[in-house]
Every structure is written in structure tokens, then in C-alpha cells.
A and B are shown apart, each in its own frame.
Chain A
Amino acid sequence: MIAATAAWFERYSTRVLVASIFVGLAWQDLAELLRPAVLPLSILTMTFACVRMDWSLIGPHLRRPLSLLAILAWLLVGAPLLVYGVCLVLLEPGSPLFAGLMLNAVSPPIMSAPAYALIVGAEPVQALLVSLGGSALAPFTGPGVIEALGLGAVHLSPGHLLLRLGAMVSVALGLAWLIRRVLGPARVVRHGEKIGAITVLLIAGFGIGLMDGMRGQILAEPDLVLGYTLAAFGLNGGLQVVGALLLWRRSRAQGLVVALVSGNRNMSLMTAAR
């Protein structure tokens, strides 16, 4: 019964993620309840994704730092410059959407990138390393790129953000290591679908929590929310396509990871900016 349920969640994981958004919008009390749990859910998502991935692949990736650095350079500098160029053509420079798109483009990849990689069939270890590297560098590169382009100033506290990131990653990876140690590699493989199902449920809980208050926003300004959502889809999809094409000829597998982390960015860094 449990195995069948887990297999169902794995099989329909992408639909469960979509459903979580509608559940959150429809059931605002639940969204309000889960809102404070968004950060712990995000950490646990990373934990369970890391339980399932092959840790022995971390070393070989770290022994090729140039490849990792090139991907980070694209994510944190190249992509924002590309988005800036497109925005200059399409939008009024002083508009809120222009500012939002630029903040989106300079943000680091999502912390749950390894979980998303497992869901869509990309390489989770590289997604983890790029996500961690991007999260560590973005508090410096994000404000730097924004200021270099003359778009103003983003007031972040890099030291505080790095401490927070360090604490989150330590908890996530420490828990993952402990779970792998207790279960052992064979049982991790045997219970892979169950671990995958837990990961999907954690992301779904995260999605429901994010929708706290969103129904009111949609009802108050439906056109604006629709326009901004379409712009967000455009940026996400556009950066995924460009990211994949950059590495298409070298390695399609790596291109998929770069696509994933190029489009899906962690906005909590910028919402912390004042």
C-alpha cells in the first residue's frame, strides 16, 4: 500500500506540484498554516533529495572547478546581462517589471535544485553544487551587477546571508548524511520511490505555504498578476532554453542542469533586500 502510494506520487510528481498551487489558493487557511514552515520545508526538500543522490559523484565534479565556475559566471553575470539587454528593448527602464526581472535574473538558483533535478531527470549532484555555489556568490554578484548597470542599489547583508546559508546547508546535508548512514546504501536504493514521494510532498507543502495571501492579490489585481506571471514564465523558460543551448554541443546532460538552474531562481534573497 505504502509502496504503491509512493510510486503514484513519484509518477505524478509534476502534477502534484501544480495541484499544490491550486490547493494553496483555494484553501487559504492551510496556506496560512504552512507559511511559517516554508523555510524548514525547503531545507527538508534539499535533505531528502541529497539522501537519494550518489554522493560519490561530488568529488569528480569538484575536481573540475573551471566547469563549475563557468556555469556560475553565466548564471550570475551572463544571464543578468542578457535579461538587461532584452528588457531595454521591451520595457520602460523605470518600470517595476524591469526592476523585478533584473532582480530575478541576478538571484541564485533555487536551493531545492537537486530535488527538481531528480523530478525532471537531470543530474542532481551538479545541480546541488551549482545551487550552493550560486547561493554563496549571489549576495556579492547580485548587488554588484545591479549597480554596475546603473540600476540603483540592492542593500543586502552578505555576511548575514552567508551565515544563514551555511546553517541551512549544514542542517540539510547533515540530516541527509545521517539518514543515509542509518538506512545504508542498499536500503536507500530499495526505498528510492518512498524518499522521492516524501520529497514531492515537501515541495507541495512549500508551494501551499507560498500561496498564503496570494488569492487576495489575484482578486485585487488580476490583470497585473497575470501579466507578471506570464513575464515570470517567459524569463524562466527563456533562460532555460539559453542555458541548455550554451552546453548543448559539449554535454546535453550538463546542458539540462544548466537549463534547470538558469530558469529556476531563489527569490528569497531579493525579498530579504531592503
Chain B
Amino acid sequence: MIDAIGPEVLLYLICTQFPLFFMPMLMRSVFRRIATGQPPQSISTA
């Protein structure tokens, strides 16, 4: 079924780019909290 990458599959592949730009905003505070055990700097100094 993957022998030819059709337009709909290609559209999905393009849509995978959206999370690359949104996920850092959603994940940064979680990552920093886990990495340091402290609240992220953006929160503590806001």
C-alpha cells in the first residue's frame, strides 16, 4: 500500500510539520521541570 506515495499520504507528511513548531511551546515547561527539578525560568521570572 506504500508502493506509491499518493497526494493524501503526502498531505499527511506535510501536516507532520505542524507539531514541530507547536510541540516546543507545549513541552518546554515539562522538559525544563523534569531536567532541573525546578519550574522553568519563563515561569519563575514572569
> CB within 8 Å of B: which residues of A?
11, 13-15, 17-18, 20-21, 93-94, 96-104, 110, 116, 119-122, 146, 151-154, 207, 210, 214, 217, 221, 224-225, 228-229, 231-233, 235-237, 240, 244, 252-253, 255-256, 259-260, 263-265, 267, 270-271, 273-274
Contact = CB atoms under 8 A, between A and B. Distances in A.
Given A100-B9, A103-B2, A270-B5, A252 B34 contact: yes
Contacts of A236: 16, 19-20, 23
B13 A103 contact: yes
B9 A120 contact: no
Given A217-B14, A228-B15, A236-B16, A264 B9 contact: no
Given A18-B21, A153-B3, A252-B35, 19 more contacts: A18-B22, A21-B22, A96-B6, A96-B8, A99-B1, A99-B5, A100-B13, A103-B9, A104-B13, A119-B28, A120-B28, A146-B2, A154-B2, A207-B20, A210-B17, A233-B23, A237-B23, A255-B34, A267-B14
B12 A263 contact: no
Contacts of A233: 18-19, 22-23
B44 interface: no
21 contacts: A11-B42, A20-B21, A97-B12, A99-B12, A104-B12, A116-B24, A121-B31, A121-B40, A152-B2, A152-B3, A210-B14, A224-B11, A225-B11, A235-B16, A252-B34, A256-B31, A256-B35, A270-B5, A271-B13, A273-B5, A274-B5
Interface residues of B, number: 33
A17 B11 contact: no
Give the secondary structure class of B's interface: helix
Contacts, number: 137
Nearest to A268: B13
Contact of B8 (A11, A224, A235): A224
Given A94-B1, A146-B2, A207-B21, A240 B16 contact: no
B28 A14 contact: yes
Nearest to B42: A11
Nearest to B30: A120
A56 B19 CA distance: 32
Nearest to B2: A152
A225 to B, nearest CB: 6
Contacts of A146: 2
Contacts of B17: 207, 210, 267
A117 to B, nearest CB: 9
Contacts of A20: 21
